[in-house]
Amino acid sequence: MAGLKGETPPTGGVEATPAVELGEAPVLTTEEFEQARQIFFDRCAGCHGVLRNGATGPALTPDKTLPKGTLALASIIFNGTPRGMPDWGKQGVLTAEQAELMAKYIQNEPPAPPEMSMEQMRGFWKVLVAPEDRPTEPQHTRNWENFFAVTLRDAGQVAVIDGDTYEVVATVNTGYAVHISRMSATGRYVYTIGRDGKTALIDLWMDPPAVVAEVKTCYDARSVEVSKYNGPEGDFTDRYAIVGCYWPPHFVIVDGLTLEPLKVVSTRSYTYDTQEYHPEPRVASIVASHFSPKWVVNVKETGQIWLVDYTDVQNPAIKMLNAERFLHDGGWDASGRYFLVAANNANKIVVLDVQEEKVAAIVETEKIPHPGRGANWIDPVFGPVWSTSHLGEGALVAIGTDPVNHPEYAWKVVRTIPLPGAGSLFLKTHPNSDWIWVDHTLNPDEEIQRTVCVIAKANPVEPYKCWQVADYGRAVHFEYNMEGNQVWVSVWGRADDPGRTGEIVVYDDKTLEEIARIPNLVTPTGKFNVYNTVKDIY
Ligand code: DHE
């Protein structure tokens, strides 16, 4: 079979013109093409896009890949690059044969994945325990506000762990590779979003906590959020949730208590600057405003921030703000008025003023900012700041966030603190803490991957201390307990390596001494403390 052609990507009715002669692409059998298509969807689409137009990672359309050739592409796939391409071969995720298969696959035209209708979403929707059959008060005596929802990435599960006792209270089946968990405004419910587009609703009042509803609204997703507003325009507490999809490129508003899909809105649109049509503008981070009944929806490829008013979900008013490409992750400043989001490949942080509903500033930072939700703290010289670390540079920056009392520092990088290396994914602090914690998960050096550093807020010029969290795997992501006096760090092992699948290490935040290990977790990743997530404390 000559270079197997995929279907024409959806272009909104306009015929797509292939950029190159497909005859040049390496030949794949139908089975090989199908295997490669699945691997691409699971491992590559997140950064490169399903249609391979590029975003966090470069475009991988045949006009770009064919000139490189199979050997060079396979080497990149196996060994990774310092710019952030994971070393899939070295990590043991792909074999040399699979790396070669993927190298051949990406020289072919990308096949178009299917769309998803409201009818299909409704077909996937299940209410396992109806709201009227759920408990009216907690069925256990545990301090559920100090529970942590922990993604067990390669197990397709979320562990609910008691932050007081470190016991795993429940391990629930969710979607595959849950990306984030968000809590209802009351904290009672956890909303998880799987990479496979499945949302699960976990009721923490049940004994043990269990999934009470689930729905699939996309084939590929990264974000979920709830309605948090309670004010003059109404009480929307826990009334709705919103799921942001990578594929199909849309967001879906669902009922907050049952996950019934209610409204789907496409994000296919035009880039904010050149105003070119984009067939795959994916939904990156979403946050709920506390000031107004609105979600902040960050649309990656078109570089727009959409303010979605949820007072009338069937007829939502959407304000589209021009921002920057490619929007990714971000968090609130301490006041909750400003949302700071990374446009990671532009090396910029966009500052949204939700009160004025405008972009307040775009801040130039280091290479590939990756804040998670960032870290808010008081700098001894510059006052209130928000920080991000970076994938492409060993640097943590502080950006002034107080235009009223420190206007000269607002929306400027006021500090750049050197780190042992690049490849940082996350950082975290807490108002009660003296430290900012930062990881180096994607650094190519094995020792640095396991190393976390703390920076003293009182002397933020260099790390106060750096150390390896474990003698295997990679250290990733932080979360504080409810009191803000303990820090949890994940260690990624390998799902197929018994005894070293992964664990969580708990530190005393005052002394930086290790106080507990929660062992035998399968690739624990994001950890979300109920209280801190409800209150947006980071
Ligand atoms: Fe994430 C947050 C997308 C890779 C773990 N990640 C986010 C958010 C987005 C996103 C849009 C913000 C959600 C929000 O706040 O609403 N992540 C992507 C990707 O597209 C990317 C680059 C590639 C992919 O294929 O997924 C990617 N992310 C990863 C990982 O490899 C990580 C480390 C492990 C994994 O699960 O795949 C990972 N991402 C996380 C975590 C958060 C996150 C733990 C939440 C951080 C927080 O504290 O808020």
> Can you tell me the distance from the alpha carbon of 154 to that of 524, in angstroms, rounded to the nearest whole number?
8
Domain of 401 in residue numbering reads as 359-537
Q: Is 18 within the bounds of a domain?
A: no
Q: Is 352 within the bounds of a domain?
A: no
**H helix count then E strand count, the chain:** 8, 37
Taking the whole predicted model, whether its pTM rises above 0.80 is answered as yes
Three-state secondary-structure class, residue 304: strand
Q: Specify the number of domains making up the chain.
A: 3
- The answer, yes or no, to whether any atom of ligand 1 lies below 6 A from the CB of 48, is no
Taking the chain (538 residues) in runs of 10, the rounded mean pLDDT of each run is 33 36 79 95 90 90 94 95 84 92 96 94 98 98 98 94 98 93 96 96 98 97 96 94 98 98 98 96 96 96 98 98 97 97 96 97 97 98 98 97 98 98 97 98 94 98 98 96 98 86 97 97 97 96
Q: Which amino acid is at 119?
A: E
Which is nearest to 70 in space by CA: 104, 99, 28, 37?
A: 104
**What pLDDT was estimated at residue 84?**
77
Do 167 and 309 fall into the same domain? yes
**What pLDDT was estimated at residue 170?**
98
**What pLDDT was estimated at residue 23?**
54
Do 151 and 279 fall into the same domain? yes
- The answer, yes or no, to whether any atom of ligand 1 lies below 6 A from the CB of 158, is no
Show the beta-strand stretches assigned E in 323-364.
Answer: 327-332, 338-343, 348-353, 358-364
Give the pairing type, strands 486-492 and 502-508: antiparallel
Do 141 and 172 fall into the same domain? yes
- The answer, yes or no, to whether any atom of ligand 1 lies below 6 A from the CB of 399, is no
> Can you tell me the distance from the alpha carbon of 327 to that of 202, in angstroms, rounded to the nearest whole number?
29
Q: Is 523 within the bounds of a domain?
A: yes
Do 103 and 121 fall into the same domain? no
**8 Å CB contact between 328 and 346:** no
**What pLDDT was estimated at residue 11?**
33
Which is nearest to 282 in space by CA: 326, 217, 314?
A: 326
> Can you tell me the distance from the alpha carbon of 401 to that of 258, in angstroms, rounded to the nearest whole number?
38
**8 Å CB contact between 395 and 406:** no
> Can you tell me the distance from the alpha carbon of 102 to that of 36, in angstroms, rounded to the nearest whole number?
6
Helix or strand (DSSP H, E) at 96: helix 96-105
The owner of tokens 């004994």 is: 207
Q: Is 22 within the bounds of a domain?
A: no
Do 126 and 243 fall into the same domain? yes
Atom of ligand 1 nearest to the CA of 428: 48
The protein residue whose alpha carbon is closest to atom 19 in ligand 1 is 46
Q: Is 4 within the bounds of a domain?
A: no
Domain end (from 49, 84, 107): 107
Cα dihedral 142, 145, 150, 155 sign:
positive
Residue 179 Cα to ligand 1 midpoint, Å, equals 6
**What pLDDT was estimated at residue 9?**
33
Helix or strand (DSSP H, E) at 516: strand 514-518
- The answer, yes or no, to whether any atom of ligand 1 lies below 6 A from the CB of 182, is no
> Can you tell me the distance from the alpha carbon of 538 to that of 358, in angstroms, rounded to the nearest whole number?
23
Q: Which of 85, 87, 176, 179 to mutate to test the pocket of ligand 1 (most atoms within 8 A of CB)?
A: 179
Q: Which of 329, 341, 529, 532 to mutate to test the pocket of ligand 1 (most atoms within 8 A of CB)?
A: 329
- The answer, yes or no, to whether any atom of ligand 1 lies below 6 A from the CB of 424, is no
DSSP 253: E
Do 152 and 175 fall into the same domain? yes
Do 238 and 311 fall into the same domain? yes
